[in-house]
Structures are given as C-alpha cells and as structure tokens.
A and B are shown apart, each in its own frame.
Chain A
C-alpha cells in the first residue's frame, strides 16, 4: 500500500537540512508520496527507514514493457479500480491471434489487416498493439516458421503461445533479443520453464486454474526471482473471467496481495466463436481490468469500435482533452463556405465537427486554444473574449480563404457579438445556435441569412 506524505515524513530524519533540495522534510515527504522524487535524494535516511519505505513504494501492480524499440508496449502500473479516482494508466495492448494452422494467405491477410487498421482521431492513434502466435499442433518447426514469417510481415511485439517447450525455445531463438511474452508457465511445466525464462529474460504468462493455484505458481516464479509476470486465472467463461479480473485488481490494490500484483491477460479469442460477441467480451475486459487482451477477429467494423471503447476508458479524466487549434475544413469548403468558431475542448470539437458533417454543408471550423475549456467555461474564464478571438482569427489566415468574411460564434456567447464586430475589423459576426444539435438546421438556412 502506498504511504501518505505524513506517514513517510515520520520516518525521515526531520532535520530540515535541505540536502535533498527541498526546504523541509515534510515537503520532500509530500513529493515522495506523489511519486515525483526518489528516496535516495535524502543522504541521511536510516537503513531501517529505507527498508520500510522502499517496501511500501513498490507499485501495487507491477509495470513493465514487452517487446523492444518503438513498438514496445507497457503493461500493468494501474493504481485504481475506477477511472475517476485518478486515471487508468496503460491501455491494455490488444493482440491479434495468428495460428500455425492458418494458410499462408490467411496469415498474410492478418498481418496486412494489423498494418491497415490504424485510425487517427484528433491527436490519438488507434491501432492493434501486438500479435499472438499460437502453436496449434505443438510442432516446433512449424511454430518457428510462423514466428519467422510473422516477424517479416509485422514489427509488433509478440506473444508466443504453445504447450510445447521446444516450440517456445524455437520461438525465443528466432526472435533473439526481442523478449516476447511467453505463454504460458503452468503448475505442470514450471520446473522446465523456469530455466528458459531465466536464461532468455522473457516476460511470461502464469496460467493456473483458480486463485489458489495461481497464487502458488506466482510464488514459485518470484522465488526464482522472475518478475515480469502476466496473470491468467484460467477461466474462459465470461461471468467467471469477469469475477476473476475484479478480484485480482482488488486484491492487488486494497490488500496489497503481492502474488496478484501483476497485469492480467484474457483471451476473448477462446471465449466465443462469434466475432461480434468476441468484441463485446474484449471491450468488457479491456474496461474491467485485463492488462492484455487477445482477439482473433480482424475485421475493421469490429476492431474499430473496440479500439474506440478502449480509448474512451483510458482517457485521463484529470486532464481536459484538448484539440489542436487551427482551421479545420469540413466537407470541401470553398471561398463561399461559412466560417464557424468554437473552443478546443475535444468534446466540443467532436460534437460541433460531427454536426457540421451531418449537415452536409461544407464549412470552415476554427478551433481556438482555450486550454481545453468548453465554450461557457472558456468565456467566463476570460479565454474566449472578443480581443483574443480577433487575434486568433487574424493569425489563422482564414481571411485569405474566404470571400464573405462572416464568422459564426456559439449561441451562448451571443452577447459578445457587438464588441467582436468592433475588434475584428472587416468581419460580419453571426450568432449560431446554442446547442450543437441545431447546427445542421442553422447551416441549411445559412445561405439565406
């Protein structure tokens, strides 16, 4: 369990010597509690205190990365059960399954789909993060060939799934220093697996049926000084898997139960034969506590909504979402198209842009930097004022793109239209609707205004 600043303070020398760079021991303790500095900045802390404090500063759920280089993924590191309590930290990587019994065409199709399914959304990129290779025939030659081919086709981190030790060895050898995630060590193969894990340094999925068996297995691994563990509690039935995810997260956070202080993995690909249902299961487990999610469905109409749902849940609720300021052409606007302005709160942007699109009237949308505030908040905080709007409109260069200089402002800021007309010389100021949902009606009548 993480200690509070006061609890940490009690263990410090309390001399306020400033050697750590902070004015007081209390200030240092507060920064320690917030995870902003390391304890070793205090040269005077006693060995006992050091031991106590470092034990408590172990994160409740271990965080580590899988894979190497730019495509490496970070898993674990979560500190809350509900996102509003702080934020969820590492969105669970979604892995696409490829198996040894697929045809060459299928394998290439899947690798191509992974490459293709990359979606840009206002600053965020949505995509699949890993590929999971499964050795269905327990044949190490076939598996090694699949690993080799997949690596040529796709550069994402890999999960190697096999019940055959030789296959896992072959896969690790093929990938050299890449540190793929090995799947799985079980109570039955632990003796054989542990040496391979120690030698290769690969992270591993620990799979056992039920809480107690999983707990013993993890203890066996940690006794062998293995640390990069991913938990698989065994169930492939949604109701039970859901319970296990909740229980493991709770045990790690509320009870500091060390054997469960690791990210989990779930396999929607093994929980149903229906690709649509697989996506609903994956969305559920990505939201409720799975550290990695393995799916077998590679169709865009399914994967895209899943990626959207994960993006929503893992958005940091502490930070206002902001869109980059600038000119956003919607449809194919020309010099006669209307110009609208709003603030850069992402939700405002999304909704306004969506409504303009649905109106099917091409328009120029100006997004002004208001520190991620919505229209009314930005106006009342003095960030959406006639002066600032005028400066911004001039800076965008929109004037060179349109013949009719008419700017539509949000209906809620109607009262600034007079002043804005004075500061934004040469422009006509129009007052748009208060609610975004009325934008289509407004734009359809725009020509006659």
Chain B
C-alpha cells in the first residue's frame, strides 16, 4: 500500500481584523486548523500582546515582577520597554486597578492612562477592564472615548455590558473583544448581538475565556477547537473571528506559578512560572489562538521561538 496525504477541504476562512491606529496590523485570515500548513494558510500568524498593569497587586510572583522592577509603577514606561526591549507585537493594558473589590480606580483616571499608553507606543493597543460588568460599562466607555483615533481593542465586552461598551466602540471606532464564559453557543450569540448592534464582523475578536494550566484549560481548549471547526468546515459565519486568549493572568495566578514551593520536585520557582505560562500559550495556540496576552518576557521569547519551529 502506498500512502497519500489526506488534505481536508475547508469551506471557511477567519475574518481579517485590522489593528493599530492605521488599521494595518492584520490579525486572522487563516483558512485551516492551527499549524496545519500542509493543507492551508496560517493567515497573518500569531501576535503576542505583552501585559502592562495600571496597578500591580503585592501578591505577584517575584519572578514576574523582576523583569519590570524599574517600570512596574509607570505603565507608560512599562509599555515602552515591552516594545523596545522585548519586541512586543502589541501592548495589553490591564486596568485591574479599576476593580471595585480592589483599588477601585475611577473611570476618568483609567481612561486618561489608556490614552497615554496608546499615544506612547507605536504598536497596537488592547485595553482590558477588570471584568466587573457594572464598573467596566463605565470605565471602558470612557476608554473608548479617550482613545478616539487609536483603534484600540477593548474588552472584556460581555453579555452584561456589551450594549454600553459596544455602542461607544462603534462611536469612537474601537475594536471589540466579545467575551463569553467558555461556551461556544454563548460566544456565537454574543457575536450576533454585537453585529445587530452595529459592530461589523471585521471589527471584533472572540475572547473565549482562558482557564489556567491544570485549572480547567481543557475546557477552553475544546471550546476553541469547536469554534474553529464550526468556522472552517461547518459554514458557521458567526464564528469566523480571530481568537484572543488573555492567559498571562491565569498562568501566573495558580499557586504553582506564584509560590516559592519549597518542595524540590517542583524545581526552580522562578523558571516554573515562566514554563507554566509558555506551556499554557502552546496549548492555546494549538487550539486556535490568534492573539496571546502574555506577561513574562522569557515566556514570550520562548513561545516566539516555538511558533517559528512550528511554521518553518
């Protein structure tokens, strides 16, 4: 018997979304499963957005603080160093400080910071709120307004706050990260609701919600695989969107990444968090991620090298 390569026929293609102030940084466009280059095109390829926080809680792992020690209290400097030192494809500003259960920073202050960061860097900018729907509705609306002309990606835009936030995103021409809790049907439904509201299909990405490695990552993995199968071979137009995975915070939240576990079997605590973040990123790439939101420069460098090995 001789063997013939089996090439799957894809019927769909992921929409291309233009990022950055000029809209010329393309995300998406793939027409096959991730890295199945023997039968399709990878599109624009993977983009890594490096995180910058408005406020860093004191419970961060020392390993995650170390690379940013000199800029950690200055988000603008942090963003600039992520671009110049580590070659970040994008900057993801995390407005964690706006969380009403935390520092509860006001919307005006957060929006002003978002504008400053967006003005400082040349790469595309993503702005994520705290995830609290009441607060995000206020904060992200103001962020959209303040960042007019910068074409930033705003998220998480959820079922509970999409009307307020998406309307501002349309008005001030920002991109929308449609976020749903690890469920393909809810993801599709939110995309439809956003389109009905007037967000065009090439102005949004799907955020399927990211689980942590060892903490439910398999749910995200399978939902993403299902989204891609629906989009590429099952004619589901509503799911043909790039996928963003906000994984840095999930990877570094787990106790194994954070703790200086004294037990020698867990190895070097500083390297462990980096590896947890990198392995998380790899599984998400295999499931279909287009944008990875990541924290540690070493994880970022490793994942970049990995993508290169997968592609070339």
Contact = CB atoms under 8 A, between A and B. Distances in A.
A250 B35 CA distance: 15
Contacts of A202: none
A299 interface: yes
A283 B6 contact: no
A446 interface: no
A283 B279 contact: yes
Contacts of B282: 280, 283-284, 309
B36 interface: yes
B137 interface: no
Contact of B267 (A215, A280, A302): A302
B278 interface: yes
A311 interface: yes
A250 B6 contact: yes
Interface string A87-109: 00000000000000000000000
Nearest to B263: A300
A155 to B, nearest CB: 18
A309 B283 contact: yes
Contact of A247 (B5, B221, B278): B5
Contact of B255 (A284, A347, A354): A354
Contact of B1 (A257, A279, A303, A358): A257
A117 B275 CA distance: 16
A84 to B, nearest CB: 4
A219 B2 CA distance: 11
Contact of A301 (B37, B131, B255, B272): B272
Given A215-B3, A257-B3, A239 B302 contact: no
Interface stretch (A191-199, A312-320, A396-404): A312-320
Interface in B280-312: 280, 282-283, 286, 302-303, 305-306, 309-312
Interface residues of B, number: 56
Contacts of A433: 101
A287 interface: yes
Interface in B127-150: 131
Contacts of A283: 279, 282-283
A312 B287 CA distance: 13
Interface in A118-137: 118-119, 121
Contacts of A246: 36, 38
Contact of B101 (A118, A121, A311, A438): A438
Contacts of A11: none
For the residues of B in contact with A, the DSSP-based class is helix
B195 interface: no
A306 B279 contact: yes
Given A301-B266, A441-B102, A215 B275 contact: no
A84 B267 contact: no
A223 to B, nearest CB: 12
B208 interface: no
A229 interface: no
A280 B281 CA distance: 9
Interface stretch (B9-17, B45-53, B65-73, B209-217): B209-217
Contacts of A247: 5-6, 38
Given A301-B267, A301-B272, A280 B2 contact: no
A441 B101 CA distance: 6
Interface band, chain A? 35 or more
Interface stretch (B83-91, B105-113, B222-230, B235-243): B222-230
Contact of A242 (B216, B254, B264, B310): B310
A239 B310 contact: yes
A41 interface: no
B265 A350 contact: no
B218 A212 contact: no
Given A302-B267, A354-B215, A281 B309 contact: yes
B215 A350 contact: yes
Contact of A317 (B102, B222, B303): B222
B258 A308 contact: no
Given A287-B283, A302-B271, A350-B216, A277 B309 contact: yes
B159 interface: no
Given A250-B6, A302-B267, A279 B229 contact: no
Interface string A260-290: 1000000000001000110111011001100
A240 to B, nearest CB: 9
Contacts of B156: none
A312 B271 contact: no
Contacts of B214: 121, 308, 311-312, 350
A238 B309 contact: yes
Nearest to B220: A312
B256 interface: yes
B306 to A, nearest CB: 5
Contacts of A84: 222, 225-226
Most B C-beta atoms less than 10 A away, residue of A219, A281, A302: A302
B209 to A, nearest CB: 12
B55 interface: no
B255 A82 contact: no
A312 B253 contact: no
Contacts of A438: 101
B10 to A, nearest CB: 14
B1 A219 contact: yes
A60 to B, nearest CB: 14
B161 to A, nearest CB: 15
A277 B302 contact: yes
A277 B178 CA distance: 32
Given A258-B1, A299-B268, 16 more contacts: A83-B221, A238-B309, A243-B36, A276-B275, A280-B306, A281-B306, A283-B279, A284-B282, A284-B310, A300-B265, A300-B268, A301-B268, A304-B275, A306-B279, A350-B216, A360-B59
29 contacts: A82-B225, A83-B222, A83-B225, A84-B222, A84-B225, A215-B1, A215-B2, A238-B310, A239-B35, A243-B38, A257-B1, A276-B274, A276-B278, A280-B303, A281-B309, A284-B286, A287-B283, A299-B271, A300-B265, A302-B271, A303-B267, A305-B272, A309-B213, A309-B217, A309-B280, A317-B222, A347-B219, A350-B215, A360-B59
Q: List 7 tightest A-B contacts by C-beta distance, closest first.
A: A300-B267, A301-B267, A301-B272, A211-B3, A308-B214, A312-B218, A441-B101
Interface of A: 82-84, 116-119, 121, 211-212, 215, 219, 237-239, 242-243, 246-247, 250-251, 254-255, 257-260, 272, 276-277, 279-281, 283-284, 287-288, 299-306, 308-309, 311-313, 315, 317, 347, 350-351, 354, 357-358, 360, 433, 437-438, 441
